[in-house]
Structure 1
Amino acid sequence: MLAQATCTEALTWADARQLAYRCATPLPSLSVSLRDAIGRTLTGPVTAHQDLPHYASSAMDGWAVNGTGNSTGPWILAASGMPLAAGQASVIATGGLVPRGATAVLRKESGFVSGDGYLSLGPDSRPGELSPGRHIRPAGEEASAGELLVPAGTVLNPAHIALAAVAGHDHLLVQRKPRVGVVLTGSEVVTSGEPAAGKVRDAFGPQLDAVISQLGGEPAGQLRIGDSYTEWLSALTHVDHGQRPDVTITTGGTGKSGTDHFRDAVAALGGRLLVDGIAMRPGHPAVLAELPDGHFIIGLPGNPLAAMMALMTLGEPLLTALGNRPLRKAGMMTCGADIDPDPGRTRLVPCVVIHHLALPATRTGPGMMRGLAGADGYMAVPPEGVAAGASVAVLPLPWTAGGAAISA
């Protein structure tokens, strides 16, 4: 739904993050093939359509026999798959249907067939080889018809998919992921080689689709435009293969100069600004808007680190809400250095985690990526700063294994 009022002043980092999460409702479920369901969240339970297994089957290669626990044979060999009368046996393979009348399965290693076609116990047979039900997997041994196999809310792994297939399912109901389009702006941006003076290399195009996937979204294509208002307006209404993304992420153009068109384009489309600036550094000129059709637009600043911190602040909560997942909380960790106050603003500082100690990374200016490249997470330093040895809120980056050390 649209916000009740246009945001006119910067929110705190915590409030902006919460607003981005609360402003969206989960997307509806989607029926997908088993192959496409891996890694998605199940929204409808998986139950057994019939008993598993749905017939009594052999656990061994050998012979199905109709005999008592004291029987030593010989048994007359009958055609496979036919009902067995007393004193009869038939060849059976692992997983094969146990014929009616069979009381046990004799392992191949424990029997032999004489030249005249009779089956007898072999000298290496074990005690109890022919006890009732021996080496027979009864119907319903794994599950009964109607039994719950995988509950809703499960993130599906390959074993879940195999179980669903065995249970007779071809499609599963899963949570739909938000489709996210990207609009890359700036006539000064080059996409390959070393940029000349006055030009900059594109830091967003090669990485944003991967980050979108890591945050629970589904990349829906990228557009590259210049700096004109007309291009902005066209990009924000772009439809790819008949589908409009649920969220569009833009890079640059979120300032308030005459060449920044984010706000004017949103207004022309009848949208409202939900967040217009955040009291944080880097990433202050970040914007979140919603159009009348429920489409969200996230405006990231043009500096790479500032953009990534804005994406973590607004994009992660928004995609989490649309994907019907709980918002990840910051973990409290011991800070390994003094960090100066920045009155009125939260500082987002990339950090490394060593023995549960959060150490601020170096080279973390708004336009730098080197510090973030080696970081496990980022600290949300309050306006009053933090002293070494004190607790600080830390959130993991979505792509780092080291982020596992950061716990709420």
Structure 2
Amino acid sequence: MVTARPTWRQARAIAAAAGAAAALPSERVPLDRAVGRRLADDLVTPIDLPHFASAAMDGWLVVGEGPWEVVDVEAPAPGQARAIVTGALVPDSPTAAQKADAPSPEVQVAVLRSESAAVEGGLLRSTVAGEPQPGHHVRPPATEAQRGELLVAAGTLLNPAHVALAASTGADELTVQAVPSVALVFTGDEVVETGLPAAGRVRDSFGVQFPALIGMLGGRIAGAARVPDLLEETVAALGDARAQVVVTTGGTGGSSADHVRAALLELGARLLVDGVAMRPGGPTRVAELPDGRLVVALPGNPLAAMVSAITLVEPLLAGLAGREPVPARVVRGAAVEGKSGATVLVPYADVDGRAVVATWRGAAMLRGLAGATGILIVPPEGVPGGETAEALPVPWVIER
């Protein structure tokens, strides 16, 4: 009995669920290693930002009305002033003496800019009419954030400014989502790694780009191996791959040179997806090895492998990292024919808000994908002209 292959959507859900079932714990990392990682917990400031009043200019800290006596004390009294630099602490405002039964009002403090001041005979005077006003050039506390305020939400991809902001709250580490490790296994006797291939041979298009692609999809490379089209060596490479996920390319068809499926079964793997009703990429497989490692076996044709990785490896890595897969979006474009019983994945470029499908979209062609902004998800019935359709962005045009 022939078992129907899952649809593209079903296969994507299976891959996501397989990753989620083996989700990795988040980890604490020093701030200098947090850039480029995804925040696991909300960053809430335990202090006001800034947490003290400070000078916004180089100049003079003045208390009350001038002219002011120049002193060298931390907290000048009313009628006094001392030199201050940008960012330095501005002490709390002193209070003026009053009768015992009356409240003591605060005496205003300010910073008088250096260029607006003159000192003569131990007295400081303002040289600009109206300067300084009360509180002039003083940064009050909590003007950026109040204690307990959310600064960065969980799930945010951290940039240098996020990390600097975390440092200002007193943090030394951040809790970030895991980045699954990925081992690559490239198969194929016909592949050459450098130079112009002879007739009957093809240039390696995976080894030069898959490490970067996996990084864009949310993983980190833990190793790579290249094996000939031999069952024994394929079994050994899969067994030796030390990573949470193993991604293979090639060898997924049914010819005498294709050994990945047989190698997985020999290792006792459980086939979660044994082919997908999609074009290109139908022979893609997802499996779980007895030790818990997950395997995504991609076809050998370049476009087929890449669209399969973008649409199936990504949700698996997302599940492992504890995040949601990249959601599909709706686009509008020209008519695209479907294929009975299969989802067709078509590279497209966004041109003036419309999806224009690539001319070069054969399973072995990369020219269309190279200029694409997304992958159109075409159901079996096709997409009529001007209608909306689902699409996934290619990872090099989105923030991950």
Q: Which bracket does the TM-score occupy, shorter chain normalised?
A: 0.7 to 0.9
How far 1:197 moved relative to its partner? 2.1
Q: Any idea what SS the aligned residue of 2:198 has? A: coil
Q: Using structure 2 for the length normalisation, give the TM-score.
A: 0.86
Instruction: Give the residue type in structure 1 aligned to 2:55.
Output: S
Of 84, 92, 103 in structure 2, the residue corresponding to residue 92 of structure 1 is 84
Once the two structures are superposed, the pairs formed by residues 192-231 of structure 1 within 5 Å of their partners are: 192-231=194-233
Partner of 2:381: 384
Does the CA-based 8 Å contact 1:44-1:152 persist in structure 2? yes
1:382 & 1:322 partners in 2: Cα distance?
A: 28
Partner of 1:406: none
Instruction: Give the residue type in structure 2 aligned to 1:78.
Output: V
Partner of 1:105: 111
1:356 & 1:87 partners in 2: Cα distance?
A: 65
Does the CA-based 8 Å contact 1:186-1:252 persist in structure 2? yes
Residues 1:281 and 2:279 aligned together: yes
Once the two structures are superposed, the pairs formed by residues 6-405 of structure 1 within 5 Å of their partners are: 9-25=4-20, 26-66=23-63, 68=64, 71-75=65-69, 77-79=70-72, 81-99=73-91, 103-114=109-120, 116=121, 118-127=122-131, 129=132, 131=134, 133-238=135-240, 244-337=242-335, 339=337, 341-400=338-397
Q: Any idea what SS the aligned residue of 1:82 has? A: coil
Aligned alpha-carbon RMSD (Å) = 2.5
1:61 & 1:148 partners in 2: Cα distance?
A: 32
1:327 & 1:60 partners in 2: Cα distance?
A: 47
Name the CA shift for 1:314/1:149 in 2 (closer, same or farther; >3 Å).
closer
1:206-259 per-residue CA deviation (whole Å, 9 max, x = no partner) reads 1112211222222323222222233222322335xxxx3221110111123343
Partner of 2:98: none
Partner of 2:102: none
Instruction: Give the residue type in structure 2 aligned to 1:245.
Output: A
Does the CA-based 8 Å contact 1:346-1:383 persist in structure 2? yes
Q: Using structure 1 for the length normalisation, give the TM-score.
A: 0.85
How far 1:138 moved relative to its partner? 3.4
Name the CA shift for 1:313/1:57 in 2 (closer, same or farther; >3 Å).
closer
1:342 & 1:106 partners in 2: Cα distance?
A: 75
Name the CA shift for 1:8/1:271 in 2 (closer, same or farther; >3 Å).
farther
Q: Any idea what SS the aligned residue of 1:24 has? A: helix
Q: Any idea what SS the aligned residue of 1:193 has? A: coil
How far 1:104 moved relative to its partner? 2.9
2:75 & 2:4 partners in 1: Cα distance?
A: 82
1:149 & 1:393 partners in 2: Cα distance?
A: 33
1:27-50 per-residue CA deviation (whole Å, 9 max, x = no partner) reads 211112222222322112223343
Name the CA shift for 1:331/1:154 in 2 (closer, same or farther; >3 Å).
closer
The answer for unaligned runs of 5 or more in structure 2 is 95-108
Q: Any idea what SS the aligned residue of 1:399 has? A: helix
Does the CA-based 8 Å contact 1:109-1:125 persist in structure 2? no
How far 1:356 moved relative to its partner? 3.5
2:75 & 2:326 partners in 1: Cα distance?
A: 60
Does the CA-based 8 Å contact 1:334-1:356 persist in structure 2? yes
How far 1:145 moved relative to its partner? 4.2
Q: Any idea what SS the aligned residue of 2:166 has? A: helix
Does the CA-based 8 Å contact 1:41-1:155 persist in structure 2? yes
2:235 & 2:336 partners in 1: Cα distance?
A: 45
How far 1:99 moved relative to its partner? 4.6
1:88-117 per-residue CA deviation (whole Å, 9 max, x = no partner) reads 321111111235666332222332111x3x
1:361 & 1:166 partners in 2: Cα distance?
A: 48
Name the CA shift for 1:264/1:160 in 2 (closer, same or farther; >3 Å).
same
Moved more, 102-111 or 184-193: 102-111
Q: Any idea what SS the aligned residue of 1:384 has? A: coil
Aligned residues: percent identity?
48
